[in-house]
Amino acid sequence: MLLNSYETIYILKPDVTDNVNLSLVNYYKGLLIEKGANNIVVQHRGRRHLCYNILHYYDGIYVQMNYQANGRLVNFIEKSMSFNDNIIRYLTVQQDILDTISVY
């Protein structure tokens, strides 16, 4: 099966505790492993100011996940994130597409 490289960034509410943050990271990493993703790298990007308020929040905690998977797994992860009350935004992009884009 063909696996593409993806990057998923999600933003947590700023009032989320470190324990909840860590449990979410472990949950999504475990979900990726369980569903067959490879080369999983999780990076905490920390608390950052948002350009505009989202759900009345002006700050958010950013977490970045890079992995190789198929499109169905990406849909599954994003659907799971949409139901999580601690996540205010998420975005997944295919890395192969990003690598071919050149900026002039």
- C-alpha closest to that of 28 among 70, 89, 79, 99: 79
Mean pLDDT of 24-47: 92
pLDDT for 81: 94
What is the span of the domain harbouring residue 26?
4-100
Task: Please tell me which residue, 48 or 103, carries the higher pLDDT value.
Answer: 48
Alpha helices, DSSP H, located in the chain: 18-34, 71-82, 95-100
List the CATH number of the domain containing 79: 3.30.70.60
Mean pLDDT of 29-36: 92
pTM comes to: 0.84
Mean pLDDT of 19-42: 92
Looking at the 3D structure of the chain, how many domains does it have? 1
3-state secondary structure of 12: strand
